[in-house]
A and B are shown apart, each in its own frame.
Chain A
Amino acid sequence: MQTTRRALISFAVLLAGWQALVWATGVEPFILPGPWLVLKSLAGHLGLIGRHATVTLLEIVLGLIFGSGLGIASAIGLSWFPSLRRWLLPLLVVMQAIPVFALAPVLVLWVGYGLASKVMMASLIIFFPVTAAFLDGLRRTEPGWLDLAQTMTAGGHGPGRWMILRHIRIPAALPALASGLRVAAAVAPIGAVVGEWVGSSVGLGYLMLHANGRMQIDLLFAALFVLAAMAVTIFFTLDWLLRRLLPWQPDTLPSD
């Protein structure tokens, strides 16, 4: 509750600062509209923004599902097959260094103008942090647990190896996976919006670009506000969910 109140106060101070800046500099509304103007524009275009926001939200959520699923599967695959790890891990690291945004035009060219290219873009951007975080967790299992499990499964070969992965390595890596998923939730909107910028006829990214072109800067800001609110909501919902699901992972930083 305390945290929420602090967040609201910070937000209010930010708004006041924004308004003060607009008043003090007398900047034209088509360069920087004040918060009041943005709010008015938001109220006036509620239906329009809502329609575009629904599409973007769908892209983000689908991207999160596919990207996380793919990341989880590939992390488990990489941890299971040492040869796969030797061959693919360096490749993954190099691929992660490629700015995914640069691929957006190609994706639109290949997959088309519609939803699929944006979902793919978001998935791609999510895939790496999820894979990296989960694989890291899978590799850092407490050696003592593995020793114990080996003595219980006659050496941990054959079916024992799978059972150790399922009952020890994977649960032990869940907190690391949760960190990866938090990063994913934070970057997924970027993927979706970049995809929309490159080529689309619907979505908040498209609406912002369109509004910018027609000097409707207040509408651009209204769309941006909704996008930010959506991203923050997704992040905190996921964070709350992960905390509920992993109760044994205590928060050791004091909540001050």
Chain B
Amino acid sequence: MPAQNSDITTALSPDTPAIGIALRGGALTFGDKRVFNQLDLDVPAGLTTCLLGPSGVGKSSLLRLIAGIAPEATAQHLETSDGGPIVGRIAYMDQRDLLLPWLSVFDNVTLGARLRGETADRARAALLLQRVGLAGEANSLPAALSGGMRQRAALARTLMEDRPMILMDEPFSAVDALTRLRLQDLAAELLIGRTTLLVTHDPLEALRLGHRVLVLSGDPARISEPLDPLGLPPRPSDDPALHGLAAQILRDLAG
């Protein structure tokens, strides 16, 4: 079984080379309130960067700014490490699964190809569904699935896009603790070699999944010095060192 799994993982490894992203002069204003201004963010290629922060600090807006779906936020410069455009080269995963209720799980996973008028790679979709443990639910409607299964389908849809960069907005915050741990392990495995920016408010999640952890906090918000925990993700959830770090980050956020 493990050997087979790694075969599948190899088959699903990114076809497109990963890109890094550099953002300069990000700004977000709500009415009179300046949430952040002159914000710089670097996302290294091929690694998972976790952006931590308390709610309302603008971390989701920052992510959506890179995704090109945040009319509220602006940036002076936003460039990729290979000089190419960002538009059309990112895959986005939201806190909500955003599965279309009238499409089967399979059709949801292949939605991107459908929207671009392309023929979906059915074999790849089937492989991804198998990898997230939904091979038996390919023809089910999302309403028949549990919250954890739906989020796994959303993960499969995100990876189906095979983009050089993946943006995740609190992707596992709406599921129960046990499901979350499993989803984190699955995501870490499937995200190997891809550039990922993952926004979360859970320090432990950031420390488990991130090659690099950044903290966004303050008023106006600033990004901390990068924190590079030891070892490779997914780090075990019962690692005492991880819990110590998480507690320290929480203290810093509160303080």
Contacts and interface: CB of A to CB of B under 8 A. Distances in A.
A147 B100 contact: no
A149 B69 CA distance: 10
Interface in B224-251: none
B69 A150 contact: yes
Contacts of A159: 117
B156 interface: no
Of the four ranges (under 10, 10 to 19, 20 to 34, 35 or more), the interface on chain B belongs to 20 to 34
Contacts, number: 64
B100 A171 contact: yes
B101 A248 contact: yes
A151 B68 contact: yes
Nearest to B64: A147
Contacts of B100: 145, 168, 171-172
Contacts of B87: 154-155
A152 B117 contact: no
Interface stretch (B88-96, B131-139, B181-189, B196-204): B88-96
Interface residues of A, number: 26
A50 interface: no
Given A150-B68, A151-B68, A250-B143, A144 B115 contact: no
A163 interface: yes
A147 B102 contact: no
B90 A149 contact: no
Interface in A119-152: 142, 144-145, 147-152
A151 B69 contact: yes
Interface in B161-193: 161, 167
**What is the interface of chain A mostly: helix, strand, loop, or mixed?**
helix
Contacts of A244: none
B62 interface: no
Contacts of A148: 92, 94, 98, 111
Interface in A148-178: 148-155, 159-160, 163-164, 167-168, 171-172, 174
B88 A147 contact: no
Contact of A144 (B96, B161, B167): B96
A151 B92 contact: yes
Contacts of B33: none
A152 B115 contact: yes
A160 B143 CA distance: 27
A155 B115 CA distance: 12
Given A147-B94, A151-B68, 12 more contacts: A144-B98, A147-B69, A151-B67, A151-B91, A152-B112, A152-B116, A155-B68, A155-B87, A163-B117, A247-B141, A248-B101, A249-B101
10 contacts: A144-B94, A148-B92, A151-B67, A151-B68, A151-B91, A151-B167, A160-B115, A163-B115, A168-B115, A248-B141
Interface of B: 64, 67-69, 87-88, 90-92, 94, 96, 98, 100-102, 111-112, 114-117, 141, 143, 161, 167
